[in-house]
Amino acid sequence: MKAIILALLAVAVWLVSASAHAKVRLDQIRLPDGFSISVFADDVDNARAMAMGDQGTLFVGSRRRGNVYAVVDRDGDFKADQVYTIARGLELPSGIAFRDGTLYIGAVSTIYRMDDIENRLDNPPEPVVVTDQFPSDRHHGWKYLGFGADGKLYVPVGAPCNICLEPGYAEIKRMNPDGTGIETFARGVRNSVGFDWHPETGELWFTDNGRDMLGDDLPPCELNHAPRQGMHFGYPFCHGDDVSDPEFGEQRACSEFTQPAQNLGPHTAPLGMRFYTGDMFPAEYRNQAFIAEHGSWNRSKKIGYRVMLVRLENNRAVSYEPFAEGWLQGEKDWGRPVDILILADGSMLVSDDKAGVIYRIRYDGKPAGS
């Protein structure tokens, strides 16, 4: 009887896994000529932000799942050989960052660290609290982490609402790696879940999710540029270039704030963004900004569910165009891009928290007809 039960459980697990994998339709993903997409890792449940370890381990956060993963490609064939779950039961541990052998995890009010983690994947240590001084609100409470060239860990604190004015929220903060010296870097940022530093200027660029409940087409989401500390990006008074908020707009004019570097699609939920720093893609993509758009919920017709490209010239955004799309078919989505990471060989990883997959996008050669 025990053997029968175990066999039935094995079949059930296989069916669930097969069903999940059947939803991944790479043939539906549209890319520019010369590019291809493959699955780098599956079984990464609710995959969110990504960070690369010094020894080539891919670390992946999650949100609703509460796990942190380590993905290992031992033979270098760009297909995961093993996925470890190195932490469980954390509160929305979406954001992660890696520095000097240590993995940092952002879980709402708390930043954790896991030391020497790449040498302890089989026996991971318990996460150690670095600081628990961030707000405990779960609404926009999940984090995105990153280390700047200044050696500080940058930590957004999203607004605990759709639209409100609460001191200490709607900011990007930064701190020392030991949790000391927490300070505000940027204000008026409703909910940033992705940022990167320009590889030439070292300046911060970040995505921001626009407010809801102003109709299908307002306001735009944003890509912002913060070359210095102390800038204010408008929330909750102003959205995009000139959308005065119906509740707070009378208090301050849009002209008082830093305008977006690029208005993005309304309600597209832009999350992870990265500058392309590899050598595999054609030269025109070098130092350009790629953005994972998670996809809308506050629209009568869905939008997003794609990877977008913002082209820059002289440190200014000049275009906003699709790079990879097809996770949305009509009004049905089978995947939701979350974060982007550039591998050492120049290919691009994209995480998908709905399909539980990490994709790899590579450039195979010259476009057809060239």
Per-residue pLDDT tens digits for 219-243:
999 999 999 999 999 999 999 999 9
Instruction: Give CA separation, 187 vs 21, 169, 207, 273, in Å.
Output: 41, 8, 13, 19
Per-residue pLDDT tens digits for 109-133:
999 999 999 999 999 999 999 999 9
Q: Which residue has the tokens 């944003």?
A: 222
Torsion sign, CA atoms 317, 323, 324, 328: positive
Per-residue pLDDT tens digits for 297-310:
999 999 999 999 99
What's the rounded Cα separation, in Å, for the pair 173 and 206? 13
Interval 173-196 mean pLDDT: 98
- pLDDT for res 23: 81
Q: 15-19, 320-324, 365-369: lowest mean pLDDT where?
A: 15-19
What's the rounded Cα separation, in Å, for the pair 206 and 159? 16
Within 209-329, strands assigned E span: 220-226, 231-232, 238-239, 243-244, 262-266, 270-275, 289-293, 306-313, 316-325, 328-329
At 366, is the pLDDT very low, low, confident or very high (cuts 50, 70, 90)?
A: low
Interval 31-59 mean pLDDT: 98
**Domains defined along the chain, listed by start:** 44-363 (2.120.10.30)
Average pLDDT score, the chain: 93
- pLDDT for res 365: 84
Per-residue pLDDT tens digits for 246-275:
999 999 999 999 999 999 999 999 999 999
What's the rounded Cα separation, in Å, for the pair 179 and 128? 12
H helix or E strand, kind and range, residue 72: strand 68-72
